[in-house]
Each structure stands twice: as C-alpha cells, then as structure tokens.
C-alpha cells in the first residue's frame, strides 16, 4: 500500500505514527502557510470595541496556536477556550492553555457549546462562515481575527506522479484538495480530519475516511489486505 502524507515539512510526524507497518510512505507537501506578524494581529485586536471583554475564544486550527496568548490578553480572565480537532487541542495543551471543549468535526459543531459572548474566532484569512453565522443566530457578538493564510503549491512532475500512485492520501484542508484532486486516482482513499474537508472532497471523490487519530492504524491495516 502506497500512502502519501501532504502536510507541510515537519508536520507529518503525528500522521505517520498512525500508519501500520509494511506500508510505503511518501511526503508531498500540498500547501504552505503564510503567518501574519504577531504585532499586526495584536494591533488589529487593539482596535476592536470588544478588546479585553471576549468571554469565548474559538481556535479553528493548530496554526493559530502561537497567537492564542495574544487573543487571551484581549479576553476576560474567565474566558472559555474552544478548539477544532485533536491536533489543535494538543498544540494548546503543550502551551499550558486549558481547553474548555474540543470539537472533532467541523467548526460549526462547537456552536451548541459556546454560550457566552463576545466571541473571538481565531483562524485563517479565508475561514468558513458556518460557525460564525450560527453563533450570531444565537444573538452572540462574534469577531474574527486572521493570523495566517494557507496557499496551495504547484507540484513538479515527480510529486505529481507520487500522488497519482497513492492508494491512500491524507488531505488536511480544502486548499490541499484543490491542489491534489486532479492527480488522485478514483479508487484511492482520501483521509480527512473532519466534516468540513470531507464535504469538499466528497463533492468530486467518493472514497473518503473522516477522522485523524490513532484509530487509523487498524483501519489502514484492514485496507491493506
């Protein structure tokens, strides 16, 4: 079985720990992250009328972990922290930040748990709107702050051939699927972290497995037989 992991260099170690023995693994980064200057993020927050009063903080990706302290300084002392995904939760825990609720699907799955405003949502330049819309429908004040932008990479002929040869490929975000989809063969399994990316992939690819975690080792071992 040929497996391709596609996160940026240095970010695939956790994924590879979930793979069974006896598989062939290649790394083909599909995206790169452009991180915003922390001082710029801090300055944007300082102009918010809600600065210092946020009572709920939503962190949509581990890429925002390095900016959480900035967001906490703009929040109340009893702020509740909500995250999307195991990797985001782990990234905050290693920084000594207590997570109130972890959502293991799409960001909007957190909506039932967020009850206190104002709410600060920390994420990408082009973050999805479902959670924000749902929270505002609950009459909560919501502000967003972008701290990074994820952009797709162009594949050279060697990397394109590696993706074409994959029996299983990990896709971490819709932006990664935009790069990969023309190369992924129809019978390959695409493994995504949650429902948001799953919905994007399923639009034009039938074989999708949702959920990143240690349970994948047994699932992938079954697929290899």
pLDDT at 164 over 80: yes
Q: How far is CA 125 from the centre of its chain?
A: 13
Which of 150, 166, 186 is the last residue before a domain boundary?
150
8 Å CB contact between 60 and 31: no
Average pLDDT, the chain: 91
166-204 pLDDT tens trace: 999 999 888 899 999 999 999 999 999 877 788 899 999
Closest among 152, 146, 148 to 132, alpha carbons compared:
146
Instruction: Kindly give the pairing relationship between strand 24-27 and strand 31-35.
Output: unpaired
User: What is the predicted pLDDT for the residue at 131?
Assistant: 86
42-57 pLDDT tens trace: 999 999 999 999 999 9
Sign of CA dihedral 120, 126, 127, 129: positive
User: What is the predicted pLDDT for the residue at 212?
Assistant: 85
Give the pLDDT band (50/70/90) at residue 105: low
d(CA 185, CA 69): 42
Q: Are residues 167 and 142 in the same domain?
A: no
Q: What is the pTM of this model?
A: 0.76
> How many folded domains does the chain comprise?
2
Which of 125, 150, 175 is the last residue before a domain boundary?
150
Q: Are residues 51 and 125 in the same domain?
A: yes
Q: Are residues 82 and 100 in the same domain?
A: yes
Q: Are residues 176 and 116 in the same domain?
A: no
Which of 150, 178, 213 is the last residue before a domain boundary?
150
pLDDT at 19 over 80: yes
d(CA 152, CA 159): 14
Q: Between residues 88 and 70, which one has the greater pLDDT? A: 70
Instruction: Kindly give the pairing relationship between strand 2-5 and strand 168-170.
Output: parallel
pLDDT at 104 over 80: no
Q: Are residues 192 and 144 in the same domain?
A: no
pLDDT at 106 over 80: no
Give the pLDDT band (50/70/90) at residue 128: confident
Domain CATH code at residue 182? 3.40.50.10090
Q: Which domain holds residue 85?
A: 34-150
């Amino acid at each position: 079985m040929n497996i391709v992991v596609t996160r940026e260099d240095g970010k695939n170690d956790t994924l590879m720990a979930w793979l069974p023995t006896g598989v062939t693994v290649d790394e083909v980064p599909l995206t790169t992250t452009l991180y915003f200057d922390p001082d710029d993020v801090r300055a944007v927050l300082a102009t918010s009328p809600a600065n210092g009063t946020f009572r709920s903080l939503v962190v949509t990706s581990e890429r925002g972990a390095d900016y959480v302290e900035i967001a906490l300084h703009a929040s109340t002392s009893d702020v509740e922290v909500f995250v999307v995904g195991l990797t985001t939760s782990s990234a905050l825990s290693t920084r000594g930040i207590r997570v109130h609720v972890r959502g293991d699907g799409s960001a909007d799955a957190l909506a039932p748990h967020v009850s206190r405003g104002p709410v600060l949502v920390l994420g990408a330049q082009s973050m999805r709107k479902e959670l924000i819309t749902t929270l505002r429908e609950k009459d909560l004040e919501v502000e967003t702050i972008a701290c990074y932008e994820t952009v797709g990479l162009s594949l050279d002929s060697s990397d394109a051939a590696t993706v074409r040869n994959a029996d299983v490929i990990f896709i971490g975000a819709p932006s990664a699927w935009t790069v990969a989809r023309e190369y992924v063969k129809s019978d390959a399994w695409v493994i995504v972290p949650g429902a948001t990316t799953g919905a994007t992939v399923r639009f034009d690819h039938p074989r999708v497995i949702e959920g990143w975690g240690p349970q994948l080792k047994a699932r992938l071992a079954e697929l290899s037989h």
